[in-house]
Amino acid sequence: MTWKPKATRQTAKLRAALLKCTRRYFEQKDILEVATPALVQHAVTDPSIDSVSLSLNDRTTWLHTSPEHCMKRLLAAGFPDIYSIGPVFRAGELSSHHLPEFTMIEWYRIGFGLREIVNDALSLASELMSDAITEKASIVEYRDVFTTALSLDPLTAAAGNIADALDADESLRSAVGEDRDAWLDLAMVARICPGFPKDRLTVVRHYPSSQAALARLCPANPSVADRFEIYCGTVELANGFVELTDPDELQDRFERDRKSRITSGKPDIGIDEHFIDALRSGLPDCAGVAFGFDRMLMIAAGLDHIDDVVTFTPGPATPPRTPDSSFH
């Protein structure tokens, strides 16, 4: 282990320049920068995300995995379009594209639909990344990329059919079981993302309703959600959606998440009632994006490993530098 920083001065200067550019982009659109606490009372219920916990005054508290809940509470309180830039934390995330602490850009636009928020995310990317990467961005349907790569419909295929398409061995089948969404995620990582071009952005939109997270279901087709992700090759840069504003549906999703966590052996962490109360008071129709700044910087700097764009990494060194495409 060395005491020296991992990022070079050149990379640090690029980080500073791109952060300045990011703030200028939002300022030009009259979007307010806000600060939310990194230390929060409630962890997210999403079973695919593990929060970092700590004890404070004999109480369990959490480092936020995203400013999402707090930012939506601000919107419910009457704030205008807002953005935030800062560190977020995820337990157990360590790879060539993952760090347990990383910088996230998150923003919300009132009244935006899926098309508008996708265009907004691509517009910011065009300010931060080379024209060669952003000018030829393609927008594809989640369903279509699965049909093309695996000849199956991800909205209806059974877990076993997805496993067959991946030529999964018995040990993997035993580990994943009948979890369709887990198989879909594996398929995205192993077969879909490797087919995305490395020299331009790919937007995948309309994820299955079972992977809606906090997105609303598409009014024209409730079997899919108004959710999208942006990739550069196998690297996921952004995740966004038109926001769910129905507090009862939100409560139901949180309860399903809790049951899923318990079934998988993860701790039951409770529900953020303040967030639900905010929706009950009235969250305006809006859309939001979470944009991974460090990954974007990695690509902009022409680097292959996320370690190389941060000054220091916490704890032990990351595993061998093999690319992956799983995201937070």
Round to whole Å and give the CA distance between 290 and 97.
16
Model confidence at 320: pLDDT above 70: no
Give me the sheet containing 286-292, strands edge to edge.
Answer: 32-33, 82-89, 101-110, 286-292, 235-242, 227-232, 201-205, 138-141
pLDDT of residue 47: 86
- Condensed to tens digits (0 to 9), the pLDDT of residues 135-177 reads 999 999 999 999 999 999 999 999 999 999 999 999 999 999 9
CB 279 within 8 A of CB 247: yes
Residues 287, 108 contacting (CB under 8 angstroms):
yes
The domain locations on the chain are 9-137+200-309
Cα 265 to Cα 316: distance, rounded to the nearest angstrom = 26
User: How many residues appear in the chain?
Assistant: 328
**In this structure, what token pair is assigned to residue 26?**
């939002």
- The residues with which 138 forms a beta bridge, in sequence order, are 202
CA distance to 70, 124, 327, per residue, from 106 (Å): 11, 12, 16
The 10s digit of each residue's pLDDT in 233-258 is 999 999 999 999 999 999 999 999 99
Write out pLDDT tens, residues 3-62: 899 999 999 999 999 999 999 999 999 999 999 999 999 999 998 888 999 988 888 899
Checking if the pLDDT of 324 tops 50, the result is no
| Domain formed by 9-137+200-309, architecture | 2-Layer Sandwich (3.30)
Smallest Cα–Cα separation from 101: which of 64, 132, 74?
A: 64
Which phi and psi (to 5°) does residue 286 adopt?
Answer: -160, 170
What per-residue confidence (pLDDT) applies to 315?
A: 60
- Number of neighbouring beta carbons within 10 Å of residue 7: 19
Strand order in the sheet with 39-40: 39-40, 59-63, 52-56
pLDDT value of residue 94? 76
Q: What is the pLDDT of residues 264-279, one digit of tens each?
A: 888 888 899 999 999 9
**Which residues touch 143 (CB under 8 Å, ≥6 apart)?**
153, 154, 155, 206, 224
How far is the C-alpha of 21 from the C-alpha of 17, rounded, in Å? Answer: 6
Q: Which helix (H) or strand (E) holds 325?
A: none
- Judge whether residue 317 has pLDDT over 80: no
Q: What is the pLDDT of residue 1?
A: 59
pLDDT of 92 reads 78
Separation CA 249–CA 58 (nearest Å): 33
- pLDDT tens for 64-101 read 999 999 999 999 999 999 999 999 999 977 788 889 99
**pLDDT band, residue 328 (cuts 50/70/90):** very low
Across 130-135, average pLDDT? 91
H or E segment at 154?
A: none
Mean pLDDT (whole number) for 302-314: 92
For β-strands 32-33 and 52-56, DSSP reports them as unpaired
pLDDT at position 142 is 98
pLDDT, tens only, 177-210: 999 999 999 999 999 999 999 999 999 999 999 9
**What number of other Cβ atoms are within 10 A of residue 206's Cβ?**
22
CA distance 146 to 177: 20
Between CA 285 and CA 45 the distance in angstroms is 23
